[in-house]
Structure 1
Amino acid sequence: MTEPGSPSDARARSARYAGLAGAALLTVAAWLGGAMPAVPPVGPGAMPYGPAALGCWLLGTALMVGAWWSLRHGAPSARWAYRTAGLWLLPLLAAPPLASRDVYSYACQGWAYAAGHDPYTVGVAAAGCPWVDSVAPIWRDTPAPYGPLFLLLAALAATLGGGLLGTLALLRSLALAGVLLAACCLPGLARACGVPIRRAVWLGLASPLVGVHLVAGAHNDAVMLGLLLLGLLVLVRLPGRPRAPLAVGQSGALLVAGVLLGLAVAVKATAVVVLPFAALTAVRGRHTVGALLRDGGLLSGGAAIALVVASVLSGLGLGWVGGLARSGDSQQWTSPPTAVGFVVDYLGELVGREAGAVPVARAVGLVLLAVLLVALWWRAWATLRGRDDVRPAAAARTALVAAGVALAATVALAPVFHPWYATWPLLVLAVSTTRTTWFTLPCAVAAFLTLPDGTSLARYTKAPGAIAMTALLLVLAVLAARALRRPPEPGPTWRRPG
């Protein structure tokens, strides 16, 4: 059954089958030139069956992106969106690892841990992983940057898999489970924020980034996002709030939500960015400092418990924090701070200065990120503080939009960007914000940035890409400055009851 304002049947049908054709072409591209075992990335010129693989990849990506984009304002219904997204996943489930070799790193890190090595101090090559030839060369000697929970899951997959193919199948099953968990959370979160469910489901599940990178690529971001969204769902459905299904008390629910968010951090550290904004969602009643300390404290306690338990069970402690520093070994212009560093180095070469601006630009980016995260949180807090006339949907939307923007800022200002990183803000913003183009357009562009074997196109467009990215940043800075000089628009009038 279609809903008011939904696209026509013909348009929806065209999008459904165009996307399915695209997914089938991407599966063909994966078999012709995907991330096969023991075949390192070779680039577009030397890819096996190069022209055919590249043609299927480009056409398939264009079809999926176009179909997703055409319905960005909402599918005919939530049920239709679920069915279509699931239909698109079917061919991709039959593909070998696609658009990235990270799943081989997961397999070797799990094998190394199961064999008694510490993946936070020993690279997979030194550990003697039998599948190391399938790992991208840049990551063979680096420590694992993932949390202890994911290492436990990867070790379980390597132990039960009985070999590389079995391990890959189990790791993809974990990723699929994460996507399914996120899919189950989307309607409840969208409803709590007053966002159309049919649009939230479509944006969050039908994006090519989800099918290609989270499922076919088996990235652990899928597990992180599933746990993250479930934790947020528990928060927006706290006992005492409308449609709350939880049988436990309010304090117990906060602890449960905190544990889920802590487990998300124990998969991938990026989830920690959401915790301060989740604390705003956790507040019951008026947003006061006391309520924030009480409810946010319970939430933080649950997250800390999850991290401690995962660290103790793994026996590896917090060694993964050190591994995060090596995740920036790759330098690509797709990271805006890195692009600015490249351009500064290019200009420096013209006057005879040695290159060295990239680390400085990345450090500046991280400082800007820290400032921006604090500003985002403070703005959300100022919007909610002391008000007893803010409806639950408005309060949830305020906190979750801020969390989504915080994730988007993390993606934009981090030292490294990979296309699947765009799924972090995508799924949170899909359920919370009303304006979509500003975050869906970058996701559409990101879908074209890799090749089926995991080669990043940024490697072959370093100078022009860095210059274009820097120019884009300058344009955005000018537009932002103009927007700040405009007089503020009148905001909504909050009336106290009675």
Structure 2
Amino acid sequence: MRPAGAAQAIVRSARAAFAGPSGPALWRGIVGSILLTLAGFGVGALPVDGGPAVALGLAGYTFGHGATLAMILCWAGVALLLTSWLALGPRATAGRLPVGDAAWATALWSLPMLPAIPLFSRDAWSYLAQGAMTGAGVDPYEFGPEANPGAFTTEVSPDWQSTATPYGPLHLSLMRIIVAMSGGHPEVGILILRVVTLACVAAMLALIVAAARRVGVDAGAAVWMAGASPLTVIHLSGGLHNEVVPLVACLAAVVLTLDRRYAWAGVLMGLAVAFKATAVIVAPFLLWIALDRRRHSAGEGRFGSRPVMGAIADTALAAVVAIVVFVVATVASGTGFGWVNAISVSDRVINYLSAPTAVAHLIHALPGTAGFADILAVSRDIGRVVLAIALVAVWWCFRRDTRTALRGILVGLLVFVLLNSLAWPWYYVWVTGFWFLGRPGPRATTGAVGVTAFLIMAIGPNGSTSLYSPVITGIAVLAAIASGWWWWRATADSRVSTR
């Protein structure tokens, strides 16, 4: 399609989205996103110089009554995004939400955040500092950002100044490039990182649509859950978390496996793991998809009559390619394999979102128990064992065909987030990315809606955890219950029609 024709098609799609039933929700979400961006200049993960508000002579917006106003705007924006997403949902799960409407929701709720301060986390500043370390020849797997003083290090949270990075070599290579492009200015680096993140979100939507159409699930619903979700808009588009890059690579690997392009699937899996180790969870399930492809081919009289051996050969090819790509990416980064040992540094974080941590808190609250650190160490060790067993069990139980393999990926990712030693709200973006590809039932989706409402209140706009405030935790629980109750009633008709 010619550029002029493509532009006309985009305009027609936007007009159709705003003129149709999705219009009010789209507008409401845009307002919510703008409010979040404005609020971020007062209570977001501000740079040490105070950011744009101070530069414009509005330093009062970052403390006192000004910060209170910004906080009100922030949570009003969150509420608008959540309710806008919910408003589109019943049509999405009923198969009546056009893919274009869901994609426009994602784009129009994300783009206003382009000039924003990092929201709900200071991790983006740490990413850039790690890239600056790599460029300066300081090993981020051995030292924390404080070992490389400079403009980027200054922006890192004090909690992480002395902490090595748990991210893969490809993450460091990307951050090194962004830092070089920024000219040494952290704020410019954030803008470049946001452009990269938004491009990755767009790629995620395209791959989800491709996967959904290949396996026969509604693409509009899949994009609604993965893209328009407040988890994506707030924590990827706003918070700039690096989950989106390996998630995109894993989705691409799934699509390529569905298309029987196993070597290329291996390339993407190698890149995904070289970015973040979470991607390893997806890889084993590609064997079952390859086996299902082989069985269909055998039934059609193609590719021989031994599907098991053929699938093993296909997967072995993908695995070998993935290992080669992983090694090459690691060597090219110049950082070595130190990140394998550095993964455990994340254990420093303690919050209730991790089941082993929550259990440790509950046990410690009982009279006569040992110190919290000792209880936490034991609960996390048990959690690791249970997680390993559970992942193997899920992999084996969800082996029947492509449909069950995709559900297995969904369940495996959910098990990982729940049982891992550390969990953050943005980790659940992995789950939403595969949600409708795994064909969950109405009750599961109702639960996911409620959990989403809870998770977006679990972190404050400056990145501080809210889970240790009984008041905020109680409000979050009530929001989750209310959202789930509303959702169950709003989708009653679609549940009846599908029986």
TM over 0.5: yes
Indicate conservation of the 8 Å contact 2:258/2:290, yes or no.
Answer: yes
Q: Could you say which residue in structure 2 is the equivalent of 1:21? A: 31
The 5 Å alignment of 1:87-106 reads 87-106=108-127
Q: Aligned pair 1:122/2:139, yes or no?
A: no
Q: Could you say which residue in structure 2 is the equivalent of 1:402? A: 408
Q: Aligned pair 1:297/2:306, yes or no?
A: no
Q: Could you say which residue in structure 1 is the equivalent of 2:439? A: 433
Distance 1:36 1:299, change over 3 A: same
Indicate conservation of the 8 Å contact 1:337/1:414, yes or no.
Answer: yes
Q: Could you say which residue in structure 2 is the equivalent of 1:475? A: none
- SS of 2:151's partner is coil
Q: Could you say which residue in structure 2 is the equivalent of 1:219? A: 241
Q: Aligned pair 1:321/2:343, yes or no?
A: no
Aligned mates of 2:36, 2:270 — CA distance in 1: 35
Distance 1:47 1:147, change over 3 A: farther
Q: Aligned pair 1:112/2:130, yes or no?
A: no
Aligned mates of 1:255, 1:422 — CA distance in 2: 28
Distance 1:124 1:431, change over 3 A: same
Q: Could you say which residue in structure 2 is the equivalent of 1:478? A: none
C-alpha deviations, 1:442-480, integer Å up to 9, x for none? 223211111211111124349978xx9xxx9xxxxxxxx
Q: Could you say which residue in structure 1 is the equivalent of 2:156? A: 135
Aligned mates of 1:297, 1:438 — CA distance in 2: 37
Q: Could you say which residue in structure 2 is the equivalent of 1:359? A: 377
Q: Aligned pair 1:82/2:90, yes or no?
A: no
For structure 2, list consecutive stretches of 5 or more residues without a partner in the other structure: 1-8, 10-16, 51-61, 296-305, 482-499
Q: Aligned pair 1:68/2:85, yes or no?
A: yes
Aligned mates of 1:267, 1:367 — CA distance in 2: 24
C-alpha deviations, 1:198-255, integer Å up to 9, x for none? 11111111011112211221111111111111111111122xxxxxxxxxxxxxx211
Pairwise CA distance, 1:411: 0.7
Aligned mates of 2:110, 2:197 — CA distance in 1: 12
Q: Could you say which residue in structure 2 is the equivalent of 1:372? A: 390
Aligned mates of 1:131, 1:207 — CA distance in 2: 31
Indicate conservation of the 8 Å contact 1:266/1:310, yes or no.
Answer: yes
Aligned mates of 1:296, 1:47 — CA distance in 2: 59
- Which amino acid counterpart does residue 98 of structure 1 have in structure 2? L
| Aligned with residue 294 of structure 2, among 280, 285, 293 | 285
Distance 1:112 1:47, change over 3 A: farther
| Aligned with residue 50 of structure 1, among 67, 85, 88 | 67
Distance 1:49 1:165, change over 3 A: same
Indicate conservation of the 8 Å contact 2:34/2:77, yes or no.
Answer: yes
Distance 1:408 1:352, change over 3 A: closer
Indicate conservation of the 8 Å contact 2:119/2:239, yes or no.
Answer: yes
Pairwise CA distance, 1:39: 6.9
| Aligned with residue 262 of structure 1, among 263, 267, 270 | 270
Q: Could you say which residue in structure 2 is the equivalent of 1:229? A: 251
- Which amino acid counterpart does residue 71 of structure 1 have in structure 2? L
Pairwise CA distance, 1:352: 6.0
- SS of 2:434's partner is helix
Distance 1:463 1:83, change over 3 A: closer
Aligned mates of 1:137, 1:149 — CA distance in 2: 25
Pairwise CA distance, 1:8: 12
Deviation beyond 3 Å, 4+ runs, structure 1: 7-11, 45-48, 459-465
Aligned mates of 1:113, 1:317 — CA distance in 2: 11
- Which amino acid counterpart does residue 268 of structure 1 have in structure 2? K
Indicate conservation of the 8 Å contact 1:33/1:47, yes or no.
Answer: no
Distance 1:9 1:369, change over 3 A: farther
Indicate conservation of the 8 Å contact 1:174/1:223, yes or no.
Answer: no
Q: Aligned pair 1:153/2:164, yes or no?
A: no
Q: Aligned pair 1:413/2:430, yes or no?
A: no
Q: Could you say which residue in structure 2 is the equivalent of 1:342? A: 361
Q: Could you say which residue in structure 1 is the equivalent of 2:497? A: none
C-alpha deviations, 1:293-313, integer Å up to 9, x for none? 212111211211111111110
Kindly indicate which of the two structures has a greater share of residues assigned to helix: 2
Indicate conservation of the 8 Å contact 2:126/2:156, yes or no.
Answer: yes
| Aligned with residue 456 of structure 1, among 465, 484, 492 | 465
C-alpha deviations, 1:347-366, integer Å up to 9, x for none? 1xx22643321111111111
Pairwise CA distance, 1:291: 3.1
Distance 1:223 1:131, change over 3 A: same
- Which amino acid counterpart does residue 145 of structure 1 have in structure 2? P
- Which amino acid counterpart does residue 361 of structure 1 have in structure 2? S
Aligned mates of 1:22, 1:16 — CA distance in 2: 10
Indicate conservation of the 8 Å contact 1:282/1:299, yes or no.
Answer: no
| TM value normalised by structure 1 | 0.81
Indicate conservation of the 8 Å contact 1:33/1:49, yes or no.
Answer: no
Distance 1:11 1:448, change over 3 A: farther
Q: Aligned pair 1:33/2:51, yes or no?
A: no
- Which amino acid counterpart does residue 448 of structure 1 have in structure 2? M
Distance 1:405 1:440, change over 3 A: farther
Distance 1:47 1:262, change over 3 A: farther
Distance 1:464 1:431, change over 3 A: closer
Pairwise CA distance, 1:183: 1.3
For structure 1, list consecutive stretches of 5 or more residues without a partner in the other structure: 2-6, 239-252, 385-394, 473-498
Q: Could you say which residue in structure 2 is the equivalent of 1:480? A: none
Aligned mates of 1:131, 1:259 — CA distance in 2: 32
Q: Could you say which residue in structure 2 is the equivalent of 1:483? A: none
More displaced, 137-146 or 452-461?
452-461
Distance 1:170 1:48, change over 3 A: farther
- SS of 2:22's partner is helix
Q: Aligned pair 1:197/2:215, yes or no?
A: no
Pairwise CA distance, 1:335: 1.2
| TM value normalised by structure 2 | 0.81
Q: Aligned pair 1:422/2:432, yes or no?
A: no
Pairwise CA distance, 1:50: 2.8
Aligned mates of 1:65, 1:463 — CA distance in 2: 17
Indicate conservation of the 8 Å contact 2:168/2:273, yes or no.
Answer: yes
Distance 1:404 1:307, change over 3 A: same
Higher relative contact order (CA 8 A, sep 6+): 1
Indicate conservation of the 8 Å contact 1:193/1:432, yes or no.
Answer: no
